[in-house]
Amino acid sequence: GSTESRSGNVRLTKQMPAELTLGQEFMYQLRVQANENVGDVVVRDVVPEGATYVRSEPAAEVSGKNLTWKFNEMDAGQAKDIRVWLRPDREGRIGSCATVFALSRACAFGMVGKPGLAIKKTRPDTAILGQDIPYSITVSNPGSAAAKAVVVTDNVPDGLAHASGQSALTFNVGDLAPGQSRTLPVVLKGTKRGKHCNGATAVASNVGKVSAEACTTILVPGINLVKTGTKEQFLGKSADYTLTVSNTGDTRLTNVTITDTAPAVTRIVSAAGATVVGNQATWRIAELGAGEKKSFTVSLTSATAGTHCNLASVTSTEGQGARAEACTLWRGVGAILVEVVDDPDPILVGSTTTYTVRITNQGSADLVNINTTAAFPAQIAPVATAQGTVSGQNVKFQTVSRLGSKQSVEFRLTARGVSAGDTRVKFVFTEDSLTSPIIEEESTRVF
């Protein structure tokens, strides 16, 4: 059977089998249950007359027939089970009563925690010079108590800049509860090429400083155009130019367009790989990698003398651009025509004749430094000229420093017959572009 004992703070229950066999072990059970928080719990039981104690779980303190169990503390609702084994030694009714004693227990608890602080910074690996760079700072409390008066400082290094112009940005985050975090966005711009590391720190009034760093490489886009070509060329021939476009930056450039505009007085002869419309040649490159370069050629011709400059430009989708110019001096070819006429011819001894010297530039370029001389035979004596000097039998005409295309110049010279004969007057012409003099002989008969 079972019996139950109730008191204010604990309840004790004892259960024993109703039928037992002489000489055969049996087990009975005690259960003590706390109605409230208790301490110094003592359960006592007695081995009944006519039975022998075998063992118990948990083990009892045994003193003669008395069995005792002690429990230091039990919380409200908690139960303890005790099992006891006995062996009946005689027939008849056997049994005993158990008691429980406990002290009521009042408890109070406080949680001991430790504040923590952690900081993390994220960034893009690369950014273009002058573009916005989004950074984020996340400060958190991984501890078990609040982090008080948290302050985050972001240090802006040389090579990066904040819109405020400040080199240190301060954020008063306030208190962070355990497990709580705050994310702070920071936008900077790259001002210098290269790798720049942006460090941030966080500190609380009850936690030491923690730090994090984020590094971004600032890339600078760049493009360059170089144009070289024929410095001087004769009219009607071709002048060749080479355009070299280079990606001088760290970034890939796309849709690179090179445009070469020929001067109005020239004409494009060829431009390999280009689209030619009128006096403009255009090349397109889908992509030009960092450090990569490509070259193109264009040939022009001109029928107009002078220095004509050929301008080229390059652009890319990213807004990069450059210009380059190459100038060519287009020169014509000078062609000299000389004519000498004497009038009258023949002449009497003692009479005079006039030699007319006519020099014409039949070419397309100026004639430069034309010098003319005349050598007379003994039968004829040069007398005078307004355009030169007479020295004995020789005459030197004044130098023509420049004679333009299709222009002419004339010299006149008077000479007198000295003695009869069939003579030859030798005229010699030199000019800077001539490799050898022009010699013209005029025959004059004296009788």
- Tokens linked to 45: 């039981």
Mean pLDDT of the chain, nearest integer: 95
Cis? peptide before 344, omega within 30° of 0? yes
Q: What is the pLDDT of residue 366?
A: 86
- Convert the pLDDT of each residue in 279-324 to its tens digit: 999 999 999 999 999 999 999 999 998 999 999 999 999 999 999 9
Half-sphere exposure of 18 (CA within 13 A, CB side): 2
Statement: residue 1 has pLDDT above 90: no
pLDDT tens for residues 385-408?
Answer: 999 999 999 999 999 999 998 999
Of 103-107, 178-182, 364-368, highest mean pLDDT? 178-182
Give the Cβ contact number of residue 393 at 10 Å: 15
Pick from 105-109, 129-133, 274-278, 435-439: least confident: 105-109
Q: How far is CA 404 from CA 3, 260, 362, 366, 409, in A?
A: 145, 33, 9, 4, 10
Share of the chain above pLDDT 70, in %: 98
pLDDT at 107: 76
pLDDT at 3 over 90: no
Question: CA gyration radius for the chain?
Answer: 61
Specify the DSSP class assigned to residue 47: P
Sign of the alpha-carbon torsion through 297, 301, 305, 308: negative
In this model, does residue 5 exceed pLDDT 70? no
Beta-bridged to residue 438, according to DSSP, are: 429
Element (H, E) at 159: none
If we measure between CA atoms, which residue out of 300, 236, 294 comes closest to residue 271?
Answer: 300
Report whether 337 contacts 365 (CB < 8 A). no
The band of 7, judged by pLDDT with boundaries at 50, 70 and 90, is low
Pick from 364, 366, 332, 350: which is nearest to 420 by CA?
Answer: 350
pTM above 0.85, yes or no: no
Paired tokens of 402: 């420049």
The pLDDT value given to residue 365: 84
**Cα gap 135→127, rounded to integer Å:** 11
| Token pair of 161 as six digits | 């800049």
Sign of the Cα torsion 263, 269, 273, 275 reads: positive
Query: What pLDDT, on a 0 to 100 scale, did the predictor assign at position 6?
Result: 64
Place of tokens 């890339």: 219
Per residue in 35-75, pLDDT tens? 999 999 999 999 999 999 999 999 999 999 999 999 999 99
Model confidence pLDDT, tens digit, residues 103-112: 998 877 778 8
Q: What is the pLDDT of residues 204-253, one digit of tens each?
A: 999 999 999 999 999 999 999 999 999 999 999 999 999 999 999 999 99
> Residue 93 and residue 84: Cα distance in Å, rounded?
18
Categorize the per-residue pLDDT at 2 as very low, low, confident or very high, splitting at 50, 70 and 90. low
